[in-house]
A and B are shown apart, each in its own frame.
Chain A
Amino acid sequence: MTNFFIGITAIAGTFILYRLSKRIYRRKPSPFTMPIFLCTASMVIFLSLTGISYETYMIGGQWIDLFLGPIVVSLAVPLYREIHLIKKYAGAIGIGIFAGSLTGVFTGIAGAKLLGFDDWLIQTVAAKSVTAPIAISITDTAGGNISLIAVFVMLAGVSGAMFGPVILKICRIEHPIAKGLSIGTASHAIGTAKVLEDSEMEGAISALSMTLSAVVVSFLVPIFLLLFITS
């Protein structure tokens, strides 16, 4: 019975905190007021200060986790809605997303290997460019650490949303399709939200790229891990 109340409190607390951070983000949009960042950071501080363990929090949190899989499934709907864009620019979109996904998985794994990290971290960092629910599934299947990948995903999103526009300028990437695609492939939903502020079409391409790149990455990760981890 106590577990039941702890669970309800954890879920309600998370939900209220999320609503609050959403409101703050609407008033002061910045990468640091993004609900996922603000909410996580304040909850981590709260749990650390009160000494409540993660296990206790997860009595409720595990119920929220149940939705991660179905959310990945639901991404089929926005993907289907953008089918006209896929058909129109199939070649460029396909090659661009493949190149980006390959680069993300390769630089992540090779970098971790060069820095001398253990296998579990290499298995974790591989999926970092992909939208959180899918990255978590890929990492879980690959044998990495799912809490750490959630943080890496957030980092990839925030850094791309903040500095992506500058990189696009330096590399002289001007075509709106190319701009949306590269941010979506590298920085998933967080980057997409940023791109959407400037242009509806770039946003649609970005959303599409984040979903397609997730599919590509989920095929690439097991292959690359097989090549790089020799155990």
Chain B
Amino acid sequence: MKYFIMILQIGILFLFNFIGQLIQGFFSLSIPGSLIGMLLLFSLLFFKIIPLTWMQAGVDFLLKDIPFFFIPVTIGIIQYLTFFYGKGSLTILLVIVSTFIVIGVSGIVTNFILKKEVKSYD
């Protein structure tokens, strides 16, 4: 019974993904359909149209092993190994440097605002 409910809940996730894709296609949006589906599910949870308990078990089951599901896509790198031999190797550096800048900028900005908020409460 427990597994039956979980399969049903995962089925609902597929349904929301499908609806999201329909919306994306219909309005030809450049935002992924899956994300539209997520925002849709979030709004239904937020306005208590769908209670959290309806989704919980299946979602937690999937989220626990999230990395498993993007292993096949990542293995696809095998087709592009030669890309990283040449100039492509620069992209590794680019991604790392950009990541460091993002940590710095978002951290400094948030830290600054939070400190200011604390002061204004004094």
Residues of chain A at the chain B interface (Cβ within 8 Å): 14-15, 18, 34-36, 39-40, 43-44, 47-48, 54, 57-58, 61-62, 64-65, 67-81, 83, 89, 91-93, 95-97, 99-100, 103-104, 107-108, 111-112, 115, 117, 121, 125, 128-129, 132-134, 136-138, 140-142, 145-148, 150-152, 154-156, 159-160, 163-164, 167-168, 171-175, 177-179, 181-183, 185-187, 189, 209, 214-215, 218-219, 221-222
- Residues of A within 8 Å of B78, CB to CB, are 44, 47-48, 54
Closest approach, in angstroms, between the C-beta of A89 and any C-beta of chain B?
Answer: 7
Give the residue of B24, B52, B111 whose beta carbon is less than 8 angstroms from that of A174. B111
B109 touches A99 (CB 8 A): yes
Give the residue of A142, A155, A219 whose beta carbon is less than 8 angstroms from that of B95. A155
Known interface pairs A163-B100, A218-B31; 16 further A-B residue pairs with C-beta atoms within 8 A, sorted by A's residue number: A58-B72, A67-B62, A69-B14, A70-B14, A70-B16, A70-B62, A79-B42, A92-B117, A100-B103, A141-B30, A152-B91, A156-B95, A160-B103, A167-B107, A186-B102, A221-B30
The interface residues of chain A, by DSSP majority, are classed as helix
A77 touches B52 (CB 8 A): yes
Of the four ranges (under 10, 10 to 19, 20 to 34, 35 or more), the interface on chain B belongs to: 35 or more
A73 touches B41 (CB 8 A): yes
A69 touches B62 (CB 8 A): no
Q: CA–CA, A168 to B102, complex, Å?
A: 11
Give the residue of B63, B77, B100, B106 whose beta carbon is less than 8 angstroms from that of A159. B100
- Residues of A within 8 Å of B101, CB to CB, are 103-104, 107
Closest approach, in angstroms, between the C-beta of B114 and any C-beta of chain A?
Answer: 5
Q: CA–CA, A172 to B108, complex, Å?
A: 8
B32 touches A167 (CB 8 A): no
Closest approach, in angstroms, between the C-beta of B56 and any C-beta of chain A?
Answer: 7
B63 touches A64 (CB 8 A): no
Which residue on A lies nearest to B44, using beta carbons?
A76
Q: CA–CA, A134 to B90, complex, Å?
A: 24
* B8 sits at the interface (CB 8 A): no
Closest approach, in angstroms, between the C-beta of A11 and any C-beta of chain B?
Answer: 9
Q: CA–CA, A182 to B37, complex, Å?
A: 26
- Residues of A within 8 Å of B22, CB to CB, are none
* Interface hits, B17-54 → A, CB 8 Å: 17, 20-21, 24, 30-35, 37-39, 41-42, 45-46, 52
- Residues of A within 8 Å of B122, CB to CB, are none
- Residues of A within 8 Å of B39, CB to CB, are 76, 215
* B1 sits at the interface (CB 8 A): no
Q: CA–CA, A132 to B72, complex, Å?
A: 12
A107 touches B97 (CB 8 A): yes
Give the residue of B31, B95, B117 whose beta carbon is less than 8 angstroms from that of A152. B95
Q: CA–CA, A223 to B45, complex, Å?
A: 29
- Residues of A within 8 Å of B110, CB to CB, are 92-93, 95-96, 99, 173, 175, 177-178, 181-182
- Residues of B within 8 Å of A72, CB to CB, are 17, 32, 34-35, 37-38
- Residues of A within 8 Å of B21, CB to CB, are 69
Q: CA–CA, A193 to B95, complex, Å?
A: 20
B108 touches A173 (CB 8 A): yes
Leading 9 A-B pairs by shortest Cβ distance: A100-B106, A147-B76, A96-B110, A137-B32, A61-B72, A182-B107, A72-B34, A222-B30, A173-B107
B68 touches A15 (CB 8 A): yes
